[in-house]
Amino acid sequence: MATIPELLIQVAIGAVPLGVAAFAYRSATDANRRTQETAVTAAERQAELERTKVDAEAFARARQIYEDALAQLEKQLDRVQAQADRLSAQLAQEQDASNTMRDQVRALQGQISTLERTVGTLRRQLISAGITPQAGEGR
């Protein structure tokens, strides 16, 4: 039979592998948990990266649409400005023509007034000379 010290040594030698096994189990469990946490963190980072990538693509598309719309508005503004310039020039020409015609109408009205006075004077002279004025052929 074995003595107590030999039994204690055998138990101690038997306990070492159990301690090593428990330590290995605990280390493996901690490593698995850390691996899972790392995987979750990596997945979260990847998801955030994908969201950022989608946001960047959407921003780029929106920026392109905005720039295209801005370019079209600038072209339209240039066309409207050119049309306004043409209309302004045309208006100035029309105003000049109107002023010229107005001056001509005033001159003609002055001539008509002068002619009417002359006709009146000639009529009075004819009547005072004893001649009855005759209406024109068209009257």
- Record the tokens describing residue 55, joined without a space: 């946001």
Whether 131 maps to a domain, the answer reads no
d(CA 24, CA 74): 73
Give the predicted TM-score (pTM) of the model.
Answer: 0.46
pLDDT digits (tens, 9 = 90+) for 96-106: 999 999 999 99
Q: What is the pLDDT of residue 1?
A: 64
Residue at 22 is within a domain: yes
65 in any annotated domain: yes
Number of domains in the chain: 1
Summarised one tens digit per residue, pLDDT across range 9-29 is: 777 787 778 788 888 889 889
Provide the residue range defining the domain that includes 20.
1-96
- Any domain includes 110: no
Domain assignment present for 117: no
**Domain assignment of residue 136, yes or no:** no
pLDDT in tens, 51-99: 999 999 999 999 999 999 999 999 999 999 999 999 999 999 999 999 9
The stretches of the chain forming alpha helices (DSSP H) are 4-128
Residue 108 included in any domain = no
Q: pLDDT value at position 138?
A: 43
What pLDDT is recorded for position 7? 74
Q: How many residues does the chain have?
A: 139
Q: To which residue do tokens 């002359």 refer?
A: 118
pLDDT at residue 2, rounded to an integer: 66
Can you read off the two tokens belonging to residue 118? Answer: 């002359």
